[in-house]
Amino acid sequence: MPEQTPEPPAGFASLPNRTAVVTGASSGIGAAIARELHAAGVTLFLTCRASADRLGAVAAEVSAAGRFVGDLAEPAERERLLAEATAALGTPDVWVNNAGVDLLTGAGRSLAYEEKLAALLAVDVTATVALSRSIGAAMRERGRGAILNVGWDQAATGMDGDSGELFAVAKAGVMAFTRSLAVSLAPEVRVNCVAPGWILTAWGETAPEEWQARVMRETPLKRWGTPEDIARCARWLCSDAASFVTGQIVNVNGGAVR
């Protein structure tokens, strides 16, 4: 199990008077990013697909300016999100594409391989591309902004099994898109990607012993990462402290080299 992630120093990567949208913010990494940006002084707008009660609790915790519940696989829902978020915040200073399909817990586990692939492509890839291009254009016209995507460290190296294949397709696409969009939107807008390693979210908390052993074996820091580890990196990448950083894939994985 992970050690407690230390609190950042006072003033770390502050973002006072900034606004941000975080997708997939009802739990896990998305909720941790929302809390971290709130601590940095950001006014937030949060989204989830279906967990309205959990999203409401996170939104209350971070005093969010608004929240959205809808399936980002649907083009009409993406348009609704853009309209509602910009109505609440104007063109946001930061956009975090964290929403992704859960294929490891819940109903997603029972889908056929082709169904899992279609779901991942629709949300993790197509929604990320469409939302980033739309909000990126608005940010560029406004003259500033930061977009953060979420990849996966093993997309670049490979992992065996169905889940490894499926997530590699989706997250490698997100990571490559990040690099190209960063060039397209420069110099006004920065675009980066955080690539988590073994992070203790819902699946990790109940992972079998062989997976617990694999995490320790593959991670030089000898612990699971936490959602807060990802959130601290996200906060830095979205802040002016990273003003000369764009088009980067930042692994947050305890030093894993596979």
DSSP annotation string for the chain: -PPPPPPPPTTTT--TT-EEEESS-SSHHHHHHHHHHHHTT-EEEEEESS-HHHHHHHHHHTT-SEEEE--TTSHHHHHHHHHHHHHHHSS-SEEEE------SSGGGGGS-HHHHHHHHIIIIIIIHHHHHHHHHHHHHHHT-EEEEEE--GGGGT--SHHHHHHHHHHHHHHHHHHHHHHHHHTTTEEEEEEEE-SB-SHHHHT--HHHHHHHHHH-TT-S-B-HHHHHHHHHHHHSGGGTT--S-EEEESTT---
Which class is domain 19-251? alpha beta
Share of the chain above pLDDT 90, in %: 85
User: pLDDT of 187-199, one tens digit each?
Assistant: 999 999 999 999 9
First to last CA, the chain: 21
Q: Is the pLDDT of residue 85 over 60?
A: yes
What's the pLDDT at 148? 98
103-112 residue pLDDT tens: 888 778 889 9
**What is the percent of the chain with per-residue pLDDT over 70, rounded to a whole number?**
95
Residue 23's pLDDT band (boundaries 50, 70, 90)?
Answer: very high
Beta carbons of 9 and 36 less than 8 angstroms apart: no
Q: For position 6, what pLDDT does the model report?
A: 64
Q: What are phi and psi of 30, to 5 degrees?
A: -60, -45
Give me the mean pLDDT over the 173-193 stretch.
98
Mean pLDDT of 31-48: 97
Name the more confident of 15 and 257. 15
pTM of the model: 0.93
Strands 189-196 and 249-252 turn out to be: parallel
Kindly report the backbone phi and psi dihedral angles of residue 102, in degrees, each rounded to the nearest multiple of 5, phi listed first. -90, 110
Q: Rounded mean pLDDT of 40-67?
A: 97
Tell me: the pLDDT tens digits for 219-249? 999 999 999 999 999 999 999 999 999 999 9
Is the pLDDT at 10 greater than 60, yes or no?
Answer: no
Rounded to the nearest integer, the mean pLDDT of the chain is 94
CA-CA distance, 167 to 150, in Å (whole number)? 12
